[in-house]
Structure 1
Amino acid sequence: MYAGLEELHQALSNCQRCTLAATRTHVICGAGCEEAHLFLLGEAPGGDEDRSGIPFTGQAGKELDEFLKILGISRENIYISNTVKCRPTKPSARARYGVYANRKPHSVEIKACSDWLEEEIKIIKPKVIVTLGGVPLSRIIGKQVKVGDFRGRKFFSQRYGCYVFPLYHPAAVIYDRSKRDVYLSDLKELRRELEEEFA
């Protein structure tokens, strides 16, 4: 439907498909290489992304940079995006978050962004989609699932014609330190799989 990412992002920047359009500062389009073999799929933009208009900035960007360092990959060689393209928020009583805090996207918001994600995947044609957390994994599989049941091992998606490698979201490791060793082990397995796939 779209000739490339530029055309897709132009259409996406005017999206009014759900109520997040009223509260966003920016639509957060995906970023990276249009010919990328590796597609990293997150959940939704946070406050830093909403302010900058760029995916995975601020704390999320630092987490991503650590993640990529372990994999031995640079941002220029991948494509990164989110399942939902606008920041989902909830009122916050905690001063450090300001007026609004981040929240998980609702199913209606995920559905509203669904076509945008489909178009991104069609344009990129990745060999591997790495899902970061339960929201993107459930979206790719097409039903509600737990990351813990799938994490750390690839499976082939007939729908997208590529492998999917589920991981915990990097933020989950910050909030639950018990997942750190598992997460690092999964990253090493992903690196091994990528080296095998792209050797």
Structure 2
Amino acid sequence: GPAVFGGPGDERDGEAPFSSDPLDDFHPWDCRKPVIAAVNGHAIGIGLTMTLQCDIRLVAAEAKLGIVQVRRGVMPDLHAHWTLPRLVGHARATDLILTGRTFLGADAAAWGLAAEALPADEVLPRAVELAREIAVHTAPLSVAVSKRLLWMSSPTPEEINALERDLHLHLMGTADSREGVMAFMEKRDPEWSLRVGTDWPEWLG
């Protein structure tokens, strides 16, 4: 049968449900590199909500998905009340959270919860392909600071504008900005030199 993504809410091996939070000390949005969730099977409850913290989700089109906690007498966790509306809008998030109904991976892609819905055996290869595309064709520092802005908690348009301006000034004139233009003009893959670990703007936090 298809793979099933579960979590501490599932009782296995005699353990009490909700005995631990797998993302208690770390969240994928804290990672400065893109995090891709390849969901090639069913994802129910925490098995789905943990993927909402990733940057990109690829799902199996026929997989059964659901944030079903209200049907179990509990409630969604792992910041789902914050992540889900950001992905699908308030109305759809309200529907999915308050009804606890299940849906298919194809629905998730149509609603914007997932980037793509694919046959199950194509999900992981596509995730690897996408990761390779990011690794080869994008500047690591540019991606890292863009990710930080995308995940910031409800900044005002003015705050985002100021951060975009300051980060543009930080990146413009760097070796990577010159390399990006030259590689495009010369029709070759870029060779990036800036590194997230050493060139991160410390004032961004």
Q: TM-score, with normalisation over the residues of structure 2?
A: 0.27
Max Rg structure: 2
The one of the two structures with greater contact order (alpha-carbon pairs below 8 A, sep at least 6) is 1
Q: TM-score, with normalisation over the residues of structure 1?
A: 0.28
